[in-house]
A and B are shown apart, each in its own frame.
Chain A
Amino acid sequence: MIMQTTNSFSLQRFFMLFRQSFRINKKIIGITVAGFFGIVFILLFLFQSKSDFTHWDNNDYMGTFIFLFFILGIVYSSLSFPDFRSKEKSIAYLMLPASASEKYIFEFVTRIVAFVLLMPLLFWLTANIEGAVIHHWVPGLEDYKFSFGKALDKFYSVGGKTVWDTLSIILGCLFIFLAAFTGASHFSKSPLMKTLFTFSLLCGGSFLYVYLLSKGLNIDQYNLPDDRILFISNGHEEAKLFTLAASVINISLLAISWFRLKEKEA
């Protein structure tokens, strides 16, 4: 099969990037999956033993999942653009005959989309295997079958959730991963630490600015209603505002990381 040399996005080259990455990283992928299985297995066992195996249910599984999903997701996204960590690798990466859009989408898919799709599947598999194994030795662990469906049913049964609530959660998660992804495209060394530091500075600066502004304008003297944020008057409106804000921020982060890749020099 001869590679196309068109300058626009080529699906053939895009899949060639996957094949290349798999050939180079197949051992690391295997070790990572096995490591994930082992760590989750041990963690679940430890958490269950702390609750004497009897007070453990689907909610506890879900709590563990959410904790791991964010921690591992942030770490994994911050490992995006691994070739940017050194000058030598950067040169080889930039000289690889694939367009910037192919390289960028490949990175986005493998670092965010693949994680969001595969991590829950792996967790579900590990949790159910672990549950079955532990239940065999400790029959006291009765609620050992983990189900995302049950957890979601419970979530949606409380307080009449709308599509905006779902969207705001999805975009909020995406923001966290995209922030780490963008940091990895920008910082060559210690991207996670530098990204955390940058976002802490941005958030701290924004809060300080709003605080000083409110002091300067004497906003704290006004008698504002407790159930309002500016013109927003109820929970659904809050979700809409959050969704809108997260969309804008996420698109900005995507644009920043795209230009970092496109303008990268080595």
Chain B
Amino acid sequence: MIQIKDLNFAYPRQKALFNNLSIHLEAGSITGLLGKNGAGKSTLLKLITGPLRAQSGEVSVLEHDPRKREVSMLSDVFLVPEEFSFPAITIKDYEKACSVFYPKFDEEMLNRVLNEFELSSDSNLQRLSYGQKKKFLIAFAISTRCRLLVLDEPTNGLDIPSKALFRKVLAGSLDENQLVIISTHQVKDVENLIDKIIILDNGKVIFKQTISEISQRVCFVSGTSDDIDDAIYCEEVPGGYRLMKPNDNVETEVDIELLFNAVTKGKTIE
């Protein structure tokens, strides 16, 4: 679905952000694009969806070149940017105005998700809080049923119950022909949601594995200072340590935050 080969990109008068970056992603997963601030996550998402153009390299999205911004691609790709702006109209009017551009738009799904997010279709978009606007945009994005959904920091601005709701709604609204890319630096927010992790650092993909591959290779446990020696990576927490250890036939939940810190500090998982 997404094929990036030897991508090079730099903002004007700045050093290169990506040097020969290559990524391959197929449909049927929710992929977490993780990275520190300034790692290039948002830029990569814009290069994939079309608002930005790479200086060189190949980018293929749904067998289209996103640089051309062809309608056949745009009608099957939806980007939820971190910052957005809405006109001063009601949710109902916005839906009427914009949904027609997405041939697979599912109005029933929109109403269901809006209901779950406790948003009324008569609300004026400009009078909503940032978090409510974001929830509406996520609801709209899901309802387009686009094959590629790209969410840039979707949980920023959401309160704690909304973050849980976001995970529930997203997980329950997708089918196997869709690919969702979620970029975030708040790794805890996407735990139990993503099934593939890509970690970006200094313009390079330094890690790309599925959650099941990670679970097979490492386990995440709590321990004391006596357990540190066996660990690939550990972090001190109140009451002891969080440890990432080679898997010895114990399948544990992936601690994405610990994994992220381990990988960005140069630890490898094989």
Interface residue ranges, A against B (CB under 8 Å): 1-3, 5-7, 10, 13, 16, 19-20, 23-25, 27, 86-92, 94-100, 265-266
Contact = CB atoms under 8 A, between A and B. Distances in A.
B100 A3 contact: yes
Contacts of B93: 23-24
B71 interface: yes
A99 B84 contact: no
B38 to A, nearest CB: 17
Interface of B: 46, 49-53, 69-72, 74-75, 77-79, 81, 83-85, 87-89, 93-94, 96-98, 100-103
A190 to B, nearest CB: 19
Contact of B100 (A16, A86, A94, A266): A16
Contacts of A99: 70-71
A6 B53 contact: no
A3 B51 contact: no
A95 B103 contact: no
A20 B100 contact: yes
Contacts of B94: 24
Contacts of B72: 5-7
Max chain B Cβ within 10 angstroms of own Cβ: one of A10, A87, A97: A97
B46 A20 contact: no
Contacts of A97: 71, 74-75, 101-102
A215 B87 CA distance: 56
Contact of A98 (B50, B52, B89, B101): B101
A25 B94 CA distance: 11
Given A23-B93, A88-B81, A95 B49 contact: yes
A15 to B, nearest CB: 10
Nearest to A27: B88
Nearest to B93: A23
Given A86-B85, A91-B81, A99-B71, A16 B53 contact: no
Given A19-B97, A20-B98, 6 more contacts: A5-B72, A13-B71, A20-B100, A95-B49, A100-B69, A265-B51
Contacts of A100: 69
A5 B97 contact: no
A3 B75 contact: yes
A92 B57 CA distance: 25
27 contacts: A1-B100, A3-B103, A7-B70, A10-B71, A20-B97, A20-B98, A23-B93, A23-B97, A24-B93, A24-B97, A27-B88, A86-B85, A88-B84, A88-B85, A89-B85, A91-B79, A94-B51, A94-B69, A95-B51, A95-B79, A96-B74, A96-B101, A97-B71, A97-B74, A97-B75, A99-B70, A265-B52
